[in-house]
Amino acid sequence: MDTIDTDTARAVTGMDIYGRRIASRLMLGTSLYPSPQMMTDAINASGAGIVTVSLRRESGEARAGQAFWELIRGLGLDILPNTAGCHSAREAVTTAQMAREIFGTDWVKLEVVRDAETLQPDVFGLVEAARTLTGEGFKVLPYTVEDLSVADRLVEAGCRVLMPWGAPIGSGLGLNNRYGLRQLRAHFPEVTLVVDAGLGLPSQAAAAMELGYDGVLLNTAVAKAGDPVAMARGFALAVEAGRLAFEADPMAPRDMAAPSTPMLGQAMLGDVGGPGELR
């Protein structure tokens, strides 16, 4: 990150994840990269403080195994295992328990998916699994929808971080429901909110940060870019810019024009003494 003053650094960097201050507001996934080296280079370029790992998905690929897990640990970043691919609360709970044993962390990004086409969260299974896992001492970061009632249930279940989607996973559509995301931010000012899924461009990440969100999580937009390293850097700068804009208390939009140049002291032309002569 480029050099900035200390006060700005505190505003731009750092978000609270269950009492731990994370230096970066950008979180990055570890799937879909063309090579492990490209993944490492992109993560380093992003400045991300947290990387997510899908236990089920990675274990089903040819590159999976002890070498991959060691590569992830070697990044020196906080690891957030997720339960991607789980379609029931029971399945998600079991996967989270396995991930805690493998990675030695009680953090878990909780995913319980209902629909295979949209990958939309199963909100009933999500709340059920969240309640079970928090009861077992997990610090749960649920991937959810931008619905106030669902968010309220998750907070009641013990979640101190919520991760509403911007759009369906891997779609690159951006923020499909800015109104819903804005309302969620307003209703839960003390909860850490991270936009997760659907971002395709850095400008969309900046828009999420301008809404007051604490961070963004993405994977496909970087991993599938022609140049993942450049795209990772682009997202890092966008997250910084969006947070700076939010902290700066931006002007409110208005329907009518407002002159930016004052009228006082300008020469006024009139017709006294003849057409075109100065008053």
Q: Is 224 designated active site?
A: no
CA distance 271 to 177: 55
CB 96 within 8 A of CB 145: no
Residue 170 annotated as lining a ligand binding site:
yes
Residue 40 annotated as lining a ligand binding site:
no
Backbone angles phi, psi at 171, to 5 degrees: -80, -30
Residue 265 annotated as lining a ligand binding site:
no
CA distance 74 to 70: 6
Query: Which of the 8 DSSP states describes residue 246?
Result: H
Q: 235: number of CA atoms within 13 Å, CB side? A: 34
CA distance 159 to 86: 19
CB 247 within 8 A of CB 239: no
Residue 219 annotated as lining a ligand binding site:
yes
Which DSSP helix (H) or strand (E) runs through 5? none
Choosing from 109, 139, 153, 233, the catalytic residue is: 109
As beta bridge partners, residue 115 has: none
Residue 200 annotated as lining a ligand binding site:
no
If we measure between CA atoms, which residue out of 58, 82, 57 comes closest to residue 70?
Answer: 58
**Residue numbering of the annotated binding site for 1-deoxy-D-xylulose 5-phosphate:** 170, 197-198, 219-220
Binding site, annotated residues = 170, 197-198, 219-220
Kindly list the catalytic residues. Answer: 109
